[in-house]
Amino acid sequence: MRVFVALDLPSEVQSQLAVQQFLLPIPRKVPRDQFHITLSYMGEMRETEVEALHDNLARLSVAPFDISLSGFGLFGRAKPNAVWAAVAPSTSLAHLAAKLDRAGRIAGAVIPARNFLPHITLGRFPAMKQDKAAPLERAVIAGAGFRAGPWEVEEMVLYQSTTLPEGPRYDALARYLMG
C-alpha cells in the first residue's frame, strides 16, 4: 500500500485556496477535499511495515506549532505540470518532517534524501509548452503576495493513496494528536 503523512487544512484556508484556484488559470484543479501538506511520502509499504509505522508515529512527541501560507509556485521548470501554494518557512515543520522520515525508515520505508519543500498542490496537468504556460506563470508571479493563516497545527494524518483513472484518492488510516 502507498502511504504518506500529511497535515489537513482548516476549512477557512481551504476556502481561501479554492478562491485562488478560481483566479489562477489552472488547466486541471485538485479537488478542495484533497488539499493537504505532505510531510513525508513513505511510498509502497507492506501491511506489517505500515503497522510498525503507525506504532512509531503514535510514540512521536511533537508540540503544536503555527504555520501559514505565502505565495505560489510551479513544478516542471521549462514545462510546468503543477501549481502549488507555498508554506511559509517553519523550523518546527521542517523538524517534524525529518522526524517522520526517520520513523518511516525505521518501519521499513525507502525514503530518499530530499530537500523538504512544504506546499499544497492546487493543480496537476500534462506538461505545458512555454507559450501555453506563460499566462499561468504570470498569474503565479502576480500571486506572490498571497497569504493565509497562521493556524495551529495540532494533528497529523497517515494517508493511503490509491491511483484511480480520475486521479488519486486519499484515505485517512490514522490521526495523531500533537502535544
In this predicted structure, what is the pLDDT of residue 67?
98
- Tens of pLDDT, residue by residue over 47-73, are 999 999 999 999 999 999 999 999 999
**CB proximity list for 166: less than 8 A, separation 6 or greater:** none
pLDDT by position in tens, the chain (length 179): 999 999 999 999 999 999 999 999 999 999 999 999 999 999 999 999 999 999 999 999 999 999 999 999 999 988 999 999 999 999 999 999 999 999 999 999 999 888 899 999 999 999 999 888 999 999 999 999 999 999 999 999 999 999 988 888 999 999 999 98
Domains of the chain plus CATH, in order, are 2-177 (3.90.1140.10)
In this predicted structure, what is the pLDDT of residue 39?
97
Whole-angstrom Cα distance, residue 55 to residue 51?
6
Q: What pTM value is reported for the model? A: 0.93
Whole-angstrom Cα distance, residue 43 to residue 164?
16
The helix or strand, by DSSP H or E, that contains position 170, with its residue range, turns out to be strand 167-177
List strands edge to edge, sheet with 119-124.
Answer: 119-124, 82-87, 65-75, 147-153
Whole-angstrom Cα distance, residue 179 to residue 22?
36
CA atoms within 13 A on the CB side of 3: 27
Classify 152 as helix, strand or coil. strand
In this predicted structure, what is the pLDDT of residue 77?
81
Residues annotated as catalytic (active site), given as ranges? 36, 119
Whole-angstrom Cα distance, residue 5 to residue 100?
8
In this predicted structure, what is the pLDDT of residue 113?
85
In this predicted structure, what is the pLDDT of residue 166?
80
- Tens of pLDDT, residue by residue over 66-96, are 999 999 999 998 899 999 999 999 999 999 9
In this predicted structure, what is the pLDDT of residue 107?
97
